[in-house]
Amino acid sequence: MQTSVCRSSSLSDRGFTLIEILVVMVIVTVITGIAVATMPMLVTEREFDREAHRLKAVLELASERAIVQAEEIGFTPEGDGYYFSRYDPLSQRWDKLAESPWQPRQLAEGISLELEIEGFDYEQPRNMPPILLLSSGELTPSNIILADAGNERMLTTDGLSGFQWQDELDDVSGDDQ
């Protein structure tokens, strides 16, 4: 007895056509292209946010250190970075702080730092930092602007209430209306 197996041609037995494979490759290529094109922007934005959080945190720590250790701390932007200094009353000069987390810092590439100092009608002494964090808890009223090609954030203080991002202040003042 001879059995013959007859296979019926069904859709499940067929392979993919060349056109179906090409369509899938085009879709994958387009999605990959979009992802690769937006990748540098996401990395840059993440570095900017990290630098913004670090700047605020280290300024708050320096302000707390000034109060707790009863010393005067200064903040100075320099080139593409910034540093903190401490006033030495014996030598009557500002010495750069080298210990972590107040050591001199370089900003990530493409990020810049600007200062707007409020209330300076007189010429600031040459060897004095532009922003002072005093042992009394007072701060130099100022705006610190952190910017890169696509972002700009302003860290501000009125001299009494610590540092806050401008958008946080806008949110609070907008809720009161």
Mean pLDDT of the chain: 81
Q: How far apart are CA 48 and CA 174, in angstroms?
A: 26
Under a CB-based contact definition with an 8 Å cutoff, are residues 131 and 157 in contact? no
Classify residue 99 by its DSSP letter.
Answer: S
What token pair was written down for 29? Answer: 């290529």
Residue that is written with structure tokens 């179906």 in the block: 20
Architecture, CATH, for domain 20-175: 3-Layer(bab) Sandwich (3.55)
Residues contacting residue 158 through CB under 8 Å, at least 6 positions apart:
141
Using the predicted structure, report yes or no on whether residue 171 has a pLDDT greater than 70: no
Residue that wins the pLDDT comparison between 112 and 2: 112
Q: What is the pTM of this model?
A: 0.68
Max mean pLDDT among 70-74, 121-125, 161-165 falls in 70-74
- The mean pLDDT value for 59-64 works out to 93
Under a CB-based contact definition with an 8 Å cutoff, are residues 153 and 145 in contact? yes
